[in-house]
Amino acid sequence: MTLVLHHVQYGRSFRVLWLAEEIGIDRFGGLEVVEYRIGTPEMREGALPCLSPAARIPAIAWDGLEMSESGAIVQHLVERLEPALGRDADHPERAAYLQWIHYAETQASLVEQLNLMMVFLRPPAKPPAVVVKLTVARLRQTLRGMEERLTGDWLLPSGFSAADIMMGFNLFAVPYYVKLDEFPRLTAYKARIEARDAYKRAALREGPQRFYDRDFYPVPDA
C-alpha cells in the first residue's frame, strides 16, 4: 500500500510530494521516493517508462493505481482521499478551480523552456537572447495575470485547494527568471505557501536545491 513516487528534486513531482504531506503520509501506508537526476539515462530505465509514456516524472504506483502527469495525479488523489482540497462538480468555484489547475501548466511550461535554455544549455551552447527575452516576457505576463486576480489569501475565495499546490510549486522556480518585487500579492502568497506545515515537511524531504547554480538568470546579451 506504500505510495511509490518517481521524483526529481524540485521538479513537477514536488507537487505530489507536497500533496501527500497535505493529505497525510500515513493515509498512503507510507511513502517511497525513487529519485532521479534530470536528463540522465536512468530515467529511461527501470519502472519509470512503464508508468509514464514519456518516461518523465512524476509517476506514482499505489494500491493498484499507476499514473503519471502531475495535474492528473493531484486531481485524482484529491477526489479519492481529500475532497476538501478540490471543488465538486456542482461547487460554484469548480470552473475557477479547474482553470487554475491548468493555468499552472501554462506557467510551468515557460519555466521549463527557460530551464532548458539557461541551465541545460551550458557553454559553449548559447541560447538566443531574443527567444529568452520573449519567454521571460510571457512568464511575466502569467504572473501579472495572477497578481491581478489574487485578491485573497489563496487562489479561490473559499480557501486553500489543490489549485494552490499546482500553482504554488511554480513560484519556487519563477524567481530565478523574474524578480517578484513587482508582484507584492504574489510575494505574500508565496510566503503563505512556505509557512504551511505540509509544505515545510515536503521541502525538508527535498533538502537544498541542486539544480540552479545562481540566484538569478538574466536575459543574455544579444
How many CA within 13 A on the CB side of residue 134?
6
Count of C-beta atoms within a 10 Å radius of residue 119 = 15
Q: What is the pLDDT of residues 174-222, one digit of tens each?
A: 999 999 999 999 999 999 999 999 999 999 999 999 999 999 999 988 7
| 217 neighbors 129 (Cβ within 8 angstroms) | no
Say if domain 94-205 classifies as CATH 3.30.460.80.
Answer: no
Distance of CA 141 to the CA centre of its chain: 18
Mean pLDDT (the chain, rounded) = 95
Equal fold, 3-85 vs 94-205: no
DSSP structure string for the chain:
-PEEEEEETTSTHHHHHHHHHHH-GGGGT-EEEEEE-TTSGGGGSTTHHHH-TTS-S-EEEETTEEEE-HHHHHHHHHHHH-GGGS--TTSTTHHHHHHHHHHHHHHHHHHHHHHIIIIIS-TT----HHHHHHHHHHHHHHHHHHHHH--SSSSSTT---HHHHHHHHHHHHGGGTS-GGG-HHHHHHHHHHHHSHHHHHHHHHH-S--S-SSS--PPPP-
State the fold for domain 3-85. Answer: Glutaredoxin (3.40.30)
Domain map of the chain by residue range? 3-85, 94-205
Range of weakest confidence among 12-21, 49-58, 82-91: 49-58
Question: What's the residue count for the chain?
Answer: 222
Q: What is the pLDDT of residues 65-106, one digit of tens each?
A: 999 999 999 999 999 999 999 999 999 999 999 999 999 999
Give bridge partners of residue 188 from the DSSP assignment: none
How many CA within 13 A on the CB side of residue 92?
3
| 24 neighbors 198 (Cβ within 8 angstroms) | no
What confidence score (pLDDT) does residue 124 get?
Answer: 65
